[in-house]
Structure 1
């Protein structure tokens, strides 16, 4: 069978690899001009002012196939959908790879990792030599948790409101090696940063080596005072691991400014990168002492790439991250954070006025952004979640864990206020029964 002109052209483009950060990126082809025009129209608006500008955000919404779904997805805190250009990029790279996998993956697509590392580092405000690309926050943080040399009797401080995979990793080390894993318990929402810092401070003993803190609490969206915790810990010679699964790609911050020693995140949440993408950051002077989770030829080297010896992985998915970064950068970090917070407050403030409806998250900007917990008197979280899904086609996440009983609601920039009105109406109807 003869190759068609289109097929020959595809081969040609494949060889030169018009990657996500080249002039031939899909973002430049499909969105760059429109973003520039919108930016010029609203250049005089602050991020807070543009947060409620529906003309601007309707333009963003159109880029997401999920914006037209009959199912209202308000569980973006679990996994967020991607814009169409990210899906198209993964499809393009997947087709390329399957022409000759070992060639196109290892000799072509693999060459895109260093530009991607640089762009992720730029997004995180850090050195590219401190960034490793992997598959999710669990992998990133488990690499650090299992990679640190700790001795029997050494103590680690965390909380019972941390993410289960991280808690289980520490519990496994405690069970196998005899380290001591102490967990704090918080009654969220808390609107006092010093109170939270004091909780960690009071738990410290002469044997404490590590504090593990979650930047944005998965269950109810509480923003923790990470920078203050890190400063307090370092004054006592203690290192800090930060779980940034729900903060990176959402909040406007540079990773080094947190003051942490280690940071892990998933990119398939608010960055809207392909599902199964993640990133870890290790302060440069710590890299050599962290053992990689997957074996490396020199596990004690100070090269961040030792954490990327994963064997065969999905190169198309990895390279799709680049287009998600392009899209995110075009919106802007602060604009995205303020829109996300606006959407949370939009529905939560209305729901908070309904008798029998309870909000389990602070509505103050310093303590929450897009995630909030809600409950209705007389309904378990499981019943509320299932009713919202079956009756109203609204997808949320039920939480019945330790001292937290609510339904987690987490919209995204593609979510429309009118859709959140659906949620408020549903809560009102259910609360009145």
Structure 2
């Protein structure tokens, strides 16, 4: 395995690399060489222990709420600190004349990773900003219908409801209750809501409440037959599931990069199909709302160039591990704890556990107990940090491991669940 002292020194040295060069301190190459020679599996604990070392994860708590926001590996933290120090040497010079030159190479890197054109990618702050840009910018008229689900993310639902009030569009909610391990039924439920007045279908690729993966591609295929635009919330799928955006057959896709990509906190991405750009007004107006240039969605004024440039380092880190290897590892972690959790008395899983229905996130409830009580007891006694989720018929603690999560962390979770089950 890698020499731990060498590993740590390489991480630390990354802060001193020249500006606009992605700092990795040699770690990227060293891990790449190891992967090439040994092809580590999802269960290779020696290898994943090395990846864990790349993060500065707290030793005081077990963080299992990476679905909210993930910490960045140290190489990404170092990059942001490096660019921040550079910016403060002379903000208007180094931000606008130096770091601003890094946006186009970053756009190209994100586009290549996503399998799309760089002329379809806008860099922003999170999935809410990306998707609300589309929701509030689409040319919809009174009486137009939008099909969506009560399990979609609240910030997006708020935006659609604002348009309902402001423009008189009609929101049509799909009647499903999750968890539901039946993709054909889910597809049918969406299709049943399509009418001649349906203009958009809003799809959440991975539901944040319980981690259920929806059959987006198949729903999108049916929508396209009727001329319906497809908007996908990819906050919990990008850089986790091994796919390219065009495989979803959608028109619009928004995501946060500070979740599964482990990019700096406050980074996101919007993808709009090239021919749709002229039709969607930017969230923050620019000189030409009908422009066909995707950069019209980046008219933010002064932005955090430091966070933006740190995305490139996170992409390098992602490429080093590999998409498929990362997806397999995180699903392995989910399977590890859920297979044991279901044996605990009173436990109720709010997530379908088969691979086609879930990957990282799983929601665990306890008969006769509120989600907030489960969450607080896990943290008070075991310092296991989860997210209490009470939404529709889901009432449990959302558990989200990441690549730096150890099996020991998950054993601690299981110990806590067993304790809670006896209360």
TM-score range, shorter chain: over 0.9
Q: Alignment partner for residue 61 of structure 1, among 52, 57, 67? A: 52
Aligned residues of 1:161 and 1:185 also touching (Cα < 8 A):
no
In 2 relative to 1, CA 347–75 (structure 1 residues): closer, same or farther, beyond 3 Å? same
Alignment correspondent of 1:34: 30
Distance in 2 (CA, whole Å) between partners of 1:121 and 1:385 is: 38
Distance in 2 (CA, whole Å) between partners of 1:391 and 1:327 is: 34
Distance in 1 (CA, whole Å) between partners of 2:200 and 2:33 is: 48
Matched, 1:382 2:372: yes
Aligned residues of 1:19 and 1:112 also touching (Cα < 8 A):
no
Distance in 1 (CA, whole Å) between partners of 2:228 and 2:33 is: 49
Alignment correspondent of 1:270: 260
How far off its partner does 1:378 sit?
Answer: 2.0
Distance in 2 (CA, whole Å) between partners of 1:407 and 1:18 is: 41
Alignment correspondent of 2:125: 135
Aligned residues of 2:178 and 2:393 also touching (Cα < 8 A):
no
TM-score, normalised by the number of residues in structure 2: 0.95
Aligned residues of 2:239 and 2:260 also touching (Cα < 8 A):
yes
Which SS does the other structure have where 1:317 is aligned?
helix
Alignment correspondent of 1:5: none
Distance in 2 (CA, whole Å) between partners of 1:109 and 1:240 is: 34
Aligned residues of 1:264 and 1:280 also touching (Cα < 8 A):
yes
Q: Alignment partner for residue 238 of structure 1, among 228, 238, 244? A: 228
Distance in 1 (CA, whole Å) between partners of 2:373 and 2:219 is: 37
Distance in 1 (CA, whole Å) between partners of 2:220 and 2:78 is: 40
Which SS does the other structure have where 2:192 is aligned?
helix
Which SS does the other structure have where 1:209 is aligned?
strand
Q: Alignment partner for residue 177 of structure 1, among 152, 167, 181? A: 167
Matched, 1:290 2:247: no
Alignment correspondent of 1:196: 186
Distance in 1 (CA, whole Å) between partners of 2:169 and 2:32 is: 54
- What are the residue-to-residue correspondences of 1:42-57 with 2, within 5 Å? 42-43=38-39, 50-57=41-48
Aligned residues of 1:209 and 1:239 also touching (Cα < 8 A):
yes
How far off its partner does 1:206 sit?
Answer: 1.4
Which SS does the other structure have where 1:241 is aligned?
strand
Q: Alignment partner for residue 109 of structure 2, among 104, 119, 130? A: 119
- What are the residue-to-residue correspondences of 1:409-420 with 2, within 5 Å? 409-420=399-410
Alignment correspondent of 1:83: 73
Which SS does the other structure have where 1:65 is aligned?
coil
Q: Alignment partner for residue 64 of structure 2, among 68, 74, 99? A: 74
Matched, 1:19 2:10: no
Aligned residues of 2:150 and 2:173 also touching (Cα < 8 A):
yes
Distance in 1 (CA, whole Å) between partners of 2:320 and 2:115 is: 16
Distance in 1 (CA, whole Å) between partners of 2:117 and 2:282 is: 19
Which SS does the other structure have where 2:54 is aligned?
coil
How many residues of Structure 1 are paired with residues of Structure 2 in the alignment?
409
How far off its partner does 1:13 sit?
Answer: 6.8
Q: Deviations over 1:231-255 (max 9, x none)?
A: 0000011011000000001000000
Aligned residues of 1:148 and 1:289 also touching (Cα < 8 A):
yes
Alignment correspondent of 1:205: 195
How far off its partner does 1:185 sit?
Answer: 3.5
Tell me the C-alpha RMSD between the 2 structures: 1.3
Alignment correspondent of 1:335: 325
How far off its partner does 1:286 sit?
Answer: 0.5
How far off its partner does 1:354 sit?
Answer: 1.0
Q: Alignment partner for residue 148 of structure 1, among 114, 117, 138? A: 138
Aligned residues of 1:230 and 1:240 also touching (Cα < 8 A):
yes
How far off its partner does 1:36 sit?
Answer: 2.5
